[in-house]
Structure 1
Amino acid sequence: MTGSGKQSGHSGFSGDTDWFTPVGGAPTATATLDEPVWRSQFPDYYADELSFSHEDVLEALGPQAEELMAQANVDVDELIRLVNAETTVMPALILPDDLSVDRSMGEEDTEEQRAGVITALRSWKRTFLKSAVAAVLVTLIGGGAAAIAMNKSVEVEVDGQTHDVHTYAGTVGEVLQAEGISVNVHDSLSPSPNAQIGDGGKIVLERGRLLHLTVDGEQRDSWVRADTVGEALAQVHAPLDGSWVSHAAGDEVPLQGLAVEVKTLKTVTVFDGGNMPKQIKTTAVTVGEFMGLQHMTLGKDDSVKGGMGLKLKNGAEVHISRTGVTVVNRTEKVQQPVQKKEDPNMDAGQEKVLDPGAPGERIATYRITVKNGKEVAKVEIGSKITKKPKPKIVKVGTKQPDIGDGAVWDRIAQCESGGNWHINTGNGFYGGLQFDQSTWESNGGTAYAPRADLASREQQIAIAEKVAAGRGFSPWPVCGARA
């Protein structure tokens, strides 16, 4: 099958064309096409016809089709004949089970059945035809030359790790499939799986990893394309300035995902009992965790506003109520008792200290409750006298003042107050003779008692006689006239 005059044509297949029978057509010159130009001419890849077409052969050979055929000195038609001549056993064409039993492409088939058959057919061509064509070219050109001509060197990078692949595959997906590399929905692949790959091409695959991120107790899941914890947190914009992170930045994020916890830096103000407020920086999430980090404890009667489970935010306040109960002994003075001695020769209302006496001492036991530094309760639970007090002795006069005609004042008192010498109705007038406070004080009544109703009959009459000596009975205009 030699001869430089062989050229390829571009006509279609008839219904009588078998798998390997070439169809006639106008010859074309051999040339090497750039891949974009070549792809624009054959955009649909393998044809969906039940026969090999010119386009199928050119698809199998790739962008170097014309160059390879020129080296072998064959055209498309002759290449198809050679494939037919060297192939005695073809691989089975596997159709999906849900297609019709007769596997035919009759008019009665549904569009879905047709699509299934076409998909299976193209897959069959892709698997069989490329190897068959390669075998023929190896025979014509020579093993080394053909292999070099059809072989591509492709760089494959997976998560930053690169390796070179020598392949006959035409697309990115075929290269990865041959390498046993699968692509999942959350992965990033460049170029796309259906993109053609040429010699010197590069495939970059970044695998998606599920990051279970918890920030200050709030969890969210995010897919990231990162190998390390630091890269993953940067991709989700996690708050890291001063934060506590459960993993080091260089730790690996495995393909099956990773749970990472972040606790942000916060400034909280602590009000601890009666102490001055204090600002503390912390990465704690709750009050309980904060107190543990600060080595702060609570007594059985202490409490925290909001509870230990209260979540902290930047600028939060922690209020700790400290309630302490203690038992203390205190030395106290014991007030001396007063002993009164009556003196009939001393005017009533007058007193004279005969002996001041002296206070005693005792030890008193108290149960004291302190809250936030302030004493809120004190209960005496016992006492003991350690020094007895010495009584204070006071002489008290009992002599009543001399009065004139007491009968007149009795009649006035009967008229003013019904004869009740100790009456206090709250109307501003006091005693049997109804003194107002200013009259009682200005005439010396406080020498007997603070108010008139607290003085004796005789003392009230004595003050009334002082008033009458200067003003007559005018302070008692009605009752004085009747007396």
Structure 2
Amino acid sequence: MSGSDRAAAPYDFNDDTDWFTPVGGTAVGVVDPHPSFPAGALTITPADVLEVLGPDADDLLASANVDVDELIRLINAETTIMPPLVLPSEEEELNDPQVLVKAASTWKRRFLKGTVAAVLVSISGGGVTAMAMDKSLTVEVDGAMQTVHSYEGTVGEVLAEEGIVVGEHDALSPSLNAPISDGGKISLDRGRLLKMSIDGQAREDWVRSVTVEEAAKQLGVPLEGAWMSAPGTHDVPLEGMSVEVKTRKNIKLFDGANPVREVQTTALTVDELLKSENLSLGPEDAVASGTDVKLATGAEVYISRTGVTVINVNEPVAPPVEKTNDPNMASGQQTVTDPGTPGEQTSTYRVTVKNGKEISREKIGGKITKEPKPKKITVGTKPIPDGEVWDRLAKCEAGGNWAINTGNGYYGGLQFSASTWAANGGTAYAQLPHQATREQQIATATKLRDRAGGTYGAWPGCRAKLGLP
């Protein structure tokens, strides 16, 4: 029970005291107010007392057979000893109403805690009331638990009494203003600043009392197969820490002519990948994307391998040709009298290979190891009458048919084009070559040959075949 519902206490006090002297209201001033204090800052009200007693206020008052008004009058007794009121030392703080209110409120709570307990103990005649006000609490800070005893009524007051300050990044349960009762538990996880570099990307996050691995998982950092600069089981210290993380990446490696490899790596760059795979680059080798490119899952790395080697090759040597003129053999004819024998030589080449394929070969030396035997040819030098030459040429060009017209744009035994025929005066004989006689075609061809310096260059294929000049 409380207030006017509670029966009057059966105490026989001296009338000279003011403990039970009727007053107009039960709110009393406990000390002369400072001129700078807000009005009522040092006044004790029923609400103040009930707050001090906490959720068990009714039971505590009932056990002492006293109500709130009576308790306030007892607190106001002349024998009550009050704690010192600590004010700010700086003048500017003294002029700040909020600072003064806080100082007064702190003083009033300190005063009430001890005074209420003392008064209740004195009038209840034992320690039951004190034991009821004395709460046994479990305080857990970063997983470390301890049991404390306190007369305080809220979480914040208990922590303040224990000298525990809650930071803005800490996690507290229950909240600072939450009431606390006997057997209650207060959990505080202090915030820690974790600085992480994830594949070269920096980030900062506040985490609780966890290990490095737990913090990384909370922050969504992929850790499977990852490399970390600190062990995952390492606790994040209260002062925070820095951790480097290199995540696992799946890439394809194309190394020269070697088969494509799928590689799992934590390397950040191509250069780190080459080192982790024990791969080196020759002076002519190259990486298509460069070695400082950052890697990500799905990347493809192409290494171009260029090698230069010097090799010796055994090769045949063609026999030289020795020609002998025969005045009795028609000009343009020749006969092989001795085919000769090829020789042998060792040739030295500089060979360049790129990605397993030869791209160039340069001969830089050679040595004859077996001399070749010359090939001997007899060449005819006997002049051939013009008519016979033209007949042989017509045989080669048109099968010897001087009147042929295949429709391919070339006509007659010597296969004139219409324009060449006309340019050399052939139209004086006929409109087209195949319409002219053998002699007329030969006469026109002779003009064409003489204009070319006496050579048969107008008929290159048959000229070479027949050995004509």
Match of 1:282 among 248, 259, 265: 265
1:70 matched to 2:59? The reply is: no
Aligned to 1:240: 223
Amino acid at match of 1:126: R
Q: Report Cα offsets for 1:15-59 as digits up to 9, x if no partner.
A: xx64269xxxxxxxxxxxxxxxxxxxxxxxxx9433223333333
Aligned to 1:335: 318
1:122 matched to 2:105? The reply is: yes
Q: Report Cα offsets for 1:272-307 as digits up to 9, x if no partner.
A: 112222222223222122222222121122111112
DSSP-derived class of the 1:85 partner: coil
Q: Report Cα offsets for 1:130-164 as digits up to 9, x if no partner.
A: 22222333333356323202101122222233222
8 Å CA contact retained: 1:413, 1:421 = no
Amino acid at match of 1:369: T
8 Å CA contact retained: 1:152, 1:198 = yes
Aligned to 1:41: none
Amino acid at match of 2:80: T
DSSP-derived class of the 2:127 partner: helix
Alignment of 1:247-258 (within 5 A): 247-258=230-241
8 Å CA contact retained: 2:26, 2:72 = no
User: Which structure 1 residue ranges, 5 or more long, are not aligned?
Assistant: 22-46, 104-112, 425-429, 450-454, 457-483
Amino acid at match of 1:70: A
1:91 matched to 2:84? The reply is: yes
Alignment of 1:84-483 (within 5 A): 84-88=77-81, 90-95=83-88, 97-98=90-91, 113-142=96-125, 144-403=127-386, 412=443, 416-417=447-448, 419-422=450-453, 448-449=466-467, 455-456=468-469
Q: Report Cα offsets for 1:162-209 as digits up to 9, x if no partner.
A: 222211111111111222222111111111111111112221212222
CA distance in 2 between counterparts of 1:188 and 1:384 reads: 88
CA distance in 2 between counterparts of 1:190 and 1:10 reads: 42
8 Å CA contact retained: 2:140, 2:185 = yes
Q: Report Cα offsets for 1:1-27 as digits up to 9, x if no partner.
A: 96269999997578xx64269xxxxxx
Amino acid at match of 1:19: V
Aligned to 2:402: none
Distance 1:405 1:381, change over 3 A: closer
Distance 1:74 1:244, change over 3 A: same
Aligned-pair distance for 1:310? 1.6
CA distance in 1 between counterparts of 2:228 and 2:454 reads: 85
Aligned to 2:30: 19
Aligned to 2:10: 3
CA distance in 2 between counterparts of 1:350 and 1:195 reads: 124
CA distance in 2 between counterparts of 1:166 and 1:8 reads: 36
8 Å CA contact retained: 1:285, 1:311 = yes
Distance 1:278 1:11, change over 3 A: farther
CA distance in 2 between counterparts of 1:400 and 1:415 reads: 16
Q: Report Cα offsets for 1:189-241 as digits up to 9, x if no partner.
A: 11111111111222121222222223222222222224212321221121123
Amino acid at match of 1:144: G
Amino acid at match of 1:416: K
Aligned-pair distance for 1:378? 2.0
8 Å CA contact retained: 2:20, 2:73 = no
CA distance in 2 between counterparts of 1:221 and 1:339 reads: 90
DSSP-derived class of the 1:86 partner: coil
CA distance in 2 between counterparts of 1:194 and 1:221 reads: 30
8 Å CA contact retained: 1:8, 1:77 = no
CA distance in 1 between counterparts of 2:111 and 2:199 reads: 58
Aligned to 1:61: 53
8 Å CA contact retained: 1:268, 1:316 = yes
Distance 1:373 1:418, change over 3 A: closer
CA distance in 2 between counterparts of 1:213 and 1:349 reads: 91
8 Å CA contact retained: 2:341, 2:375 = yes
User: Which structure 2 residue ranges, 5 or more long, are not aligned?
Assistant: 1-7, 13-18, 33-38, 390-438
8 Å CA contact retained: 1:20, 1:80 = no
8 Å CA contact retained: 1:267, 1:279 = yes
Aligned to 1:468: none
Distance 1:201 1:395, change over 3 A: same
Distance 1:219 1:136, change over 3 A: same
CA distance in 1 between counterparts of 2:26 and 2:297 reads: 76
User: Identical aligned pairs, as a percentage?
Assistant: 47
The answer to which of 391-400 and 199-208 deviates more is: 199-208
Distance 1:148 1:447, change over 3 A: closer
8 Å CA contact retained: 1:7, 1:75 = no
Aligned-pair distance for 1:97? 3.3
Aligned to 1:463: none
8 Å CA contact retained: 2:135, 2:150 = yes
8 Å CA contact retained: 1:96, 1:120 = no
Distance 1:169 1:447, change over 3 A: closer
CA distance in 2 between counterparts of 1:3 and 1:20 reads: 29
Amino acid at match of 2:314: T
CA distance in 2 between counterparts of 1:140 and 1:368 reads: 112
Aligned to 2:427: none
8 Å CA contact retained: 1:329, 1:366 = yes
TM-score if structure 1 supplies the norm length?
0.73
Aligned-pair distance for 1:249? 3.4
Amino acid at match of 1:62: G
8 Å CA contact retained: 2:265, 2:273 = yes
Distance 1:295 1:9, change over 3 A: farther
DSSP-derived class of the 1:234 partner: helix
TM-score if structure 2 supplies the norm length?
0.75
CA RMSD of superposed structures (Å):
3.6
State the number of aligned residues: 401
